[in-house]
Structure 1
Amino acid sequence: MPERHDPLPGPLPSPSTAPALGAAPRRVVVISASVGAGHDGAAAALVDRLTAHGVPVDRCDFLDLLPARTGRLLCGGYHRLLTWAPEGYQRLYRATEQAARPGAVWRALFRGAEGRTLAALPPDTCAVVSTYPGASQVLGALRQRGLLTVPALTYLTDFSVHALWVAPGVDAHMAVHAVPAAQAHVQGAAAVTVVGPVTDPRFTPATDGQRLAARARFGLPGQAPLALLVAGSWGVGPVRRAAAEIRETQAAVPVVVCGRNQALVEQLRRDGAEYVFGWVDDMPGLMHACDVLVQNAGGLTSLEAFAAGLPVASYRCIPGHGRTNAQALEEAGLAAWIRTRENLAPTLTDLLRGPRGRAQRAAGIALHRSAPGPVPVIAARTGIRPASPAVSPTVRRRSRLRFALSAAATAATLALGVAAPLAHAYAEAPARFIAVAHCLDGDRR
């Protein structure tokens, strides 16, 4: 990951001035937030994509841009609310879910971050991309008042779009799928485009040999079906209850990842859970070892599981975004939302061995192959000319063709305002998008 540069003084460049042919690309700044790991994970993958195309990138943590350490206090309060009073968080989420604008307290807090946000942008900044709703609100306000003179873009990391994600003034919104794209469009988001997810390229479907090797490496059973149970980096929600209920179904053996919640690790081991992990650095390897993912928040781990070819189930979801994401994932046909304990065993069985599991595996893999990614949108907005990654000449030619077509389509989408129809078309006939992606990849099957 590129090092973060110290803020430099000076005016920001005009976004209308494209670099001369052959000139060094200008800089993109990505603003995330270390609230859990999902926003940071998406930002890291986005930085990797841009860097691979030769675009200089800086990355900032929005919590550090809030005044008087309020960012850390806000994060800590959110964590405690989810842990100790989850239904209180549900009420707060509902109260703000359909709000036309942030409340007075939120507006004051975001206003306090504006100066630091501008100071964090180097003078060669050509665009700012947010992967966190609060950062999007600040960038939109700065754009509306003319204080930010380069494009501001939002990358929607969730499948459900809370009102705070949509900020007036933001130039474009990038969505991972047609479902969140449609939600954002209904809420008035500007230039909504389906770009697909960005995840670590190590998340790929496992071969039989990789699966057996991964199981041996993690000390897992060689033959039993394994359900990977995750609860985010904080390990929040009724994880112990979900683990016990999965074990009681006898449909799969639970493999539980508790993130940084070491107390949960110890509790599960006292409960008799056999396969429990804290923070796991090699999540691609652990997904290779398992057969189905059970999650409760619908965030980045679900997108990673889709890339790894795992069917996904939402169960015992946390309040707020956990439940709205579960509903949106189900609507997209990407994950089963198990609402009752009675449906747990039959749904797991269907996902492991039935047609529903096969359909979800195919849909999850297709999600990662059927959209151009965020780089063409950023290029269309800024005029930068991303370089092709270092690959073979044949692959480079295909990559250039694919990128040129993606950039042209993105530019037309942004110029003509056809993002919502494209999102609808993707939802109605995703196979056509998949076929085009395979063709551009050189897959003629």
Structure 2
Amino acid sequence: MGAGHDTVAAELARRLREHGHRTAVVDVLRLLPYGLGGGLRAFYQASVRHFPWAYGGLYQVFLRRGTGRRPSGVPLARLAAGRLTRLADRTGADLVVPVFHLAAQLTGHLRSRGLLRVPSAVFLIDFSVHRQWLHPGNDRYLCLTDEAARAVREDIATPAETAGPVVAPAFSAPAPGAEQWSRRFALHGPGRPPVLLSAGAWGAGSRLAATAALLAGRGFLPVVLCGRNDRLRGRLPQTPGVLTLGWVADMPGLMHAARALVDNAAGQTAVQALAAGLPVVGYRPLPGHGADGVRRMAALGLSDLAADESGLLGALERLTAPGPDRERRVRHGRALFRDDLMARMAQLLDAAGPCPSPPSTGTAPGAVGGDGRDTSRGAAS
């Protein structure tokens, strides 16, 4: 769904390979038969883009914590059960790491019935825990914050700990591309502090054109990130003082050249901004888990939450200017990246014990576990 889950999975796989392991990144929606995965993705994408209120209503009734019996994704997830267990056996995996809530339902179901023989460690990548992430059959949960880990333990009594977010190292290091972005900003809006407006990979957002016009009118350079939504980019006004971008490959450089991020989902873009030292302001969040995540980030002191136009402008004026407010926000955001997730996974791989070598296929996926020296062991995320 979107690009955030893929980005996290890719970075986990990269780190595992760097430690000498083999990896397989698998889209759980592709494991569903009859084209159900593609249909589910299309339905959710249409909901977020065109009628977010409908998803917001479903979320409030069925997914939000504290709303009664937890709904189960198991009936749908069961349809992928055979394909996942065969994949784990074929690759010799000794750890499965779900980074999407349907995958967590699937592995929890399989583990609780003894059908998946290796541990499942869910990497819960949301700031706000919704109940579809939770299944007591999983062996462990690794969470972004102490609060999220506590919520998991309270709801399903499963071991849960704080691991912090996972982003590519380029976001927290000096970015070579920042200078090129700065030159582009100077040409498009000389003297204006560049502010990113994120609409996610799908280009979903509320009143983006109005927000961009508001910022431009107050002396900022709004840089609207339309993701892969070319239609959205074409609809936004191509006026002086507003820069619209499609899919951006160099996000580290872009973030290091900007002064703030206006975010509506508390997803991976917001996490990357924290790593890059870019202050985040939540504004007009998407309904459902997006709104809950934006509020939770602000409650934790990781971002500001603007309730209206005046609040948005005030927050940006404080956070784009050098000074203690900006420094405090940057310091607090970077402090979230505090633990070594690979060390925690290594513990799980060691506890799992050695697995048989997978059949030799030349490009056999999987991730190698334990001490990184036994290349017959694997893990899938």
- TM-score range normalised by the length of the shorter chain: 0.7 to 0.9
Q: Distance in 1 between matches of 2:28 and 2:240?
A: 40
Residue in structure 1 matched with residue 292 of structure 2 by the alignment: 324
Q: What's the counterpart of residue 40 of structure 1?
A: 6
* Structure 2 residue aligned with 1:352: 320
1:266 counterpart SS class: helix
Question: Which residue of structure 1 lines up, in the alignment, with residue 123 of structure 2?
Answer: 155
Residues 273, 109 of structure 1: alpha-carbon distance in 2 compared, 3 angstrom cutoff: farther
**Which residues in structure 2 correspond to 1:210-289 (within 5 Å)?**
211-216=178-183, 220-221=188-189, 223-238=191-206, 239-250=208-219, 252-270=220-238, 274-289=242-257
2:96 is matched with which residue? 128
Q: 2:75 aligns with which of 101, 108, 132?
A: 108
**Residues 55, 288 of structure 2: 8 Å contact kept:** yes
Match of 1:53 in 2: 19
Q: Of residues 241, 262, 267 in structure 2, which corresponds to 1:294?
A: 262
Give the conservation status (yes or no) of the 8 Å contact 2:281–2:303. yes
Paired residues of 2:203 and 2:227 also in contact (CA < 8 A):
yes
Specify which of 150, 172, 176 is matched with residue 204 of structure 1: 172
* 1:227–1:294 Cα contact (<8 Å) kept: yes
Contact 1:159 1:329 in 2 (8 A): yes
Contact 1:235 1:258 (8 Å CA) reproduced: yes
Q: CA deviation at 1:189?
A: 5.1
Matched, 1:385 2:361: no
Seq. identity, %: 35
Match of 2:281 in 1: 313
- How far did 1:249 drift? 3.1
In structure 2, do the counterparts of structure 1 residues 382 and 229 end up closer, same or farther at CA, with 3 Å as the change threshold?
same
**Distance apart, 1:179 and its partner CA:** 2.7
Q: How far 1:84 sits from its partner (Å)? A: 1.7
Range that drifts further, 267-276 or 256-265: 267-276
Deviations 1:209-253 (A, max 9, x none): 974443125655454211011111001021223222222333x21
* Paired residues of 2:177 and 2:254 also in contact (CA < 8 A): no
Residues 241-250 or 53-62, more deviating = 241-250
CA distance in 1, matches of 2:184, 2:222: 17
Distance 1:311 1:170 in 2: 35
Report the CA distance between 1:102 and its aligned residue: 2.3
The one-letter code sitting in structure 2 at the alignment partner of 1:282 is D
Q: Which amino acid aligns with 1:51?
A: R
For the structure 1 residues 257 and 189, does the alpha-carbon distance in structure 2 shift closer, same or farther, using more than 3 Å as the test?
Answer: farther
Structure 2 residue 28 is the aligned partner of structure 1 residue 71: no
CA contact (8 A) 2:209 2:236 kept: yes
1:81-123 per-residue CA deviation (whole Å, 9 max, x = no partner) reads 11221111110011122354325xx432111111111122225
Residues 9-52 of structure 1 show CA distances to partners (whole Å, capped at 9, x for unaligned) of xxxxxxxxxxxxxxxxxxxxxxxxxx101111111111111111
Is the Cα contact below 8 Å between 1:215 and 1:221 reproduced in 2?
A: no
Report the count of equivalent residues: 348
* Corresponding position: 1:85 with 2:85: no
- CA distance 1:77–1:351, shift in 2 (3 Å): same
Q: Matched residue of 1:60: which SS?
A: coil
Q: Secondary structure at the match of 1:328?
A: helix
CA distance in 1, matches of 2:158, 2:25: 24
The yes-or-no answer on 1:333 pairing with 2:301 is: yes
Q: Which runs of 5+ in 1 are unaligned?
A: 1-34, 389-445
Aligned residue for 1:287, secondary structure, equals helix
CA RMSD of aligned residues (A): 2.0
Q: Is the deviation greater in 234-243 or in 86-95?
A: 234-243
Q: Does the residue aligned with 1:245 lie in a helix, a strand or coil?
A: helix
Corresponding letter in the other structure for 1:77: F
Q: Please tell me whether the aligned partners of residues 126 and 293 of structure 2 are also in contact (alpha carbons under 8 angstroms).
A: yes
User: Is the 1:212–1:222 Cα contact (8 Å) retained in structure 2?
Assistant: no
Letter in 2 for 1:318: L
1:57 is paired with a residue whose SS is: strand
Q: CA deviation at 1:184?
A: 2.2
1:101-156 deviations in Å (ceiling 9; x for gaps): 325xx432111111111122225110100000001001001000011111011001
Give the Å deviation of 1:269.
3.0
Q: What letter corresponds to residue 331 of structure 2 in structure 1?
A: A
Give the residue type in structure 2 aligned to 1:45.
E
One-letter code aligned to 2:370:
R
Aligned to 1:117: 84
CA offset digits 1:342-388 (Å, max 9, x no partner): 211111111112433221101122222x222x212211112143449
How far apart in 1 are the matches of 2:134 and 2:53? 24
Of structures 1 and 2, the one scoring higher in RCO (CA 8 A, sep 6+) is: 2
Structure 1 counterpart of 2:344, one-letter code: V
Aligned match of 2:379: none
The one-letter code of the counterpart of 1:185 is R
Q: In structure 2, how many angstroms separate the alpha carbons of the residues matched to 1:148 and 1:72?
A: 25
Q: Check whether the contact 1:167–1:189 (CA below 8 A) recurs between aligned residues.
A: no
| Structure 1 residue 273 displacement after superposition | 5.7
Letter in 1 for 2:87: A
- State TM-score, norm by structure 1: 0.74
Kept in 1, the 8 Å contact 2:213–2:242? The answer is no
TM-score after normalising by structure 2: 0.86
